[in-house]
Amino acid sequence: GYPFHSSHPIFSLSPVNLESLQKQFDELANFSDTPAPSVTRILFTENDVLARGYIKELMGKAGLSVREDAVGNIFGRWTGSDPELGAVATGSHIDAIPYSGKYDGVVGVLGALEAINVLKRSGFQPKRSLEVILFTSEEPTRFGISCLGSRLLAGSEALVNGIKESVDDQNTSFFDAAKSAGYVVSEENLSTVILEKGSYFSFLELHIEQGPLLEEEGVSIGIVTAIAAPASIKVEFEGNGGHAGAVLMPERNDAGLAAAELALAVEKHVLETGSMDSVGTVGIIVLHPGAINSIPSKSHIEIDTRDIDEKRRDGIVEKIHQSSIDIAKRRGVKLSEFRIVNQDPPAKCDHLIINALEVAVRQLNLSHKMMISRAYHDSLFMARVSPMGMIFIPCYKGYSHKPEEYASIEDIANGVNVLALTLAQLSLE
């Protein structure tokens, strides 16, 4: 049982292979739809498939047995001496939003594989099986659904239904996109993805902080205590459109201005909570027909709002809904869609895993602090089916979701060591 420090002797870890790990980051970043230093890797595109192949090859080289499920979650397993026990898993994602960087998610996949290699080089023998997971589409870019793979693994009924209707902006269905990437998935076998209860004894994710605190404070490791609650909303307004010169101002019902006004309302409602933990973003506004001399007859806007406090976040969502109704009414446009795509609760990290991480950072002599994750991660959903913990490492100025994202190989190696030691300890529980 826990805690570990008394029950298991410390063994010494072989060093992380900095050179080959750095090379892997550089090589994986080449699978991108946009030029370096940016990375764009969208679910089931050619570059995503190539990157998946790259990871599967690394899994094979590490001696893991590789399995893929129907939606393309990839599992690499190191079978323990007691394979009947729940496994200890770790992983993250390699999909990348348009013009982002090469560390978001990737640190938790390449880092996990290096942690396995470190343990193997150290002569460690796991009791519980250890597993590295690459999750399908943590980013909502293509189908509008965040954490698609982990949501399904965790058994989201809403998603099993929602995914059937999902199409990308080219009107390609999720099922067809998956097929083009070599996966056979349909309504019939979708539920085979859902994990059986007790599959995992624990789940860990290594990730860049995506915030500035660790770097600013000169701290090596962040131990995450909770993940903030995300929500996303799609809204559409419809007006009559018309000629930009001929239709006089009093005669207009401009769907574009309704969207602009709603975007400002989102900011207002978020600021109104008075809490620094409330955030809201309008990252997408699309106007139809999109001509300079045509009044927008349709607008489409996508809203992301999050808070560590679920009730407060729900309050923001409710106010955004009310504003959408009010704006439509006042501007004489139709609110043709108000769809909450997801409104997820926050997740708490498991306190026993937090203890294990504290033991590991102490053994490694690394500075650490407790922190919340404002970004969401596959861990948000893995927490529904397994005790969960997250390890943050510093990243340059907290930059993320942009090309300037950077983490030094030394900071990554610290994270790999913490992960390796914690996986080892949990595997012996």
Binding site for ligand GLV (CB under 6 A): 138-139, 375-376
Neighbours of 17 (CB within 10 A): 16
According to DSSP, the β-strands at 229-238 and 298-307 are antiparallel
Residue closer to ligand GLV, measured from CB, 135 or 175 = 135
CA distance 322 to 325: 5
CA distance 59 to 78: 10
Residue closer to ligand GLV, measured from CB, 305 or 417 = 305
215 binds, among ligand GLV, Mn ion, none (CB under 5 to 8 A by kind): none
Helix (H) or strand (E) holding 413: helix 409-427
CA distance 393 to 223: 9
Number of residues that bind Mn ion (CB under 5 A): 3
Residue 209 C-beta: closest distance to ligand GLV, Å? 12
Cβ contacts of 212 within 8 Å, gap of 6 or more: 397, 398
Residue 275 C-beta: closest distance to Mn ion, Å? 21
Residue 376 C-beta: closest distance to ligand GLV, Å? 4
Using DSSP, state whether 65 is helix, strand or coil.
strand
Residue 247 C-beta: closest distance to ligand GLV, Å? 39
Residue 138 C-beta: closest distance to Mn ion, Å? 6
Residue closer to ligand GLV, measured from CB, 131 or 139 = 139
Contact in structure between 338 and 235 (CB atoms under 8 Å) = yes
Concatenated DSSP letters of 213-269: HHHHHT-SEEEEEEE-EEEEEEEEEE---EETTTS-GGG---HHHHHHHHHHHHHHH
CA distance 43 to 185: 15
Q: Which residue is nearest to ligand GLV (CB)?
A: 375
148 binds, among ligand GLV, Mn ion, none (CB under 5 to 8 A by kind): none
Cβ contacts of 114 within 8 Å, gap of 6 or more: 16, 17, 21, 416
β-bridge partners, 348: 226
**Per-residue contact flags (x/-) with Mn ion for residues 358 to 397, judged by CB under 5 A:** -----------------x----------------------
Helix (H) or strand (E) holding 299: strand 298-307
Residue closer to ligand GLV, measured from CB, 63 or 283 = 283
Residue 84 C-beta: closest distance to ligand GLV, Å? 35
For residue 236, state whether it binds Mn ion (rule: CB under 5 A).
no
Residue 278 C-beta: closest distance to ligand GLV, Å? 15
Residue closer to ligand GLV, measured from CB, 147 or 361 = 147
- In the chain, % helix, strand, coil (3-state, to 5) comes to 40, 25, 40
Residue 173 C-beta: closest distance to Mn ion, Å? 24
Residue 344 C-beta: closest distance to Mn ion, Å? 12
Which residue is listed with tokens 């729900």? 314
How many alpha carbons fall within 13 Å on the CB side of residue 89?
A: 28
Residue closer to ligand GLV, measured from CB, 138 or 344 = 138
Is the Cα dihedral 41, 117, 76, 9 positive or negative? negative
Residue closer to Mn ion, measured from CB, 205 or 215 = 205
From the list 91, 105, 111, 394, which residue makes contact with Mn ion (rule: CB under 5 A)? 105
59 binds, among Mn ion, ligand GLV, none (CB under 5 to 8 A by kind): none
175 binds, among Mn ion, ligand GLV, none (CB under 5 to 8 A by kind): none
Residue 208 C-beta: closest distance to ligand GLV, Å? 11
Contact in structure between 317 and 231 (CB atoms under 8 Å) = yes
CA distance 240 to 115: 58
For residue 104, state whether it binds Mn ion (rule: CB under 5 A).
yes
Helix (H) or strand (E) holding 112: helix 106-121
Helix (H) or strand (E) holding 363: helix 351-363
Residue closer to ligand GLV, measured from CB, 124 or 376 = 376
Residue closer to ligand GLV, measured from CB, 83 or 283 = 283
Residue closer to ligand GLV, measured from CB, 139 or 215 = 139
72 binds, among ligand GLV, Mn ion, none (CB under 5 to 8 A by kind): none
**Residues in the site for Mn ion, rule: CB under 5 A?**
104-105, 375
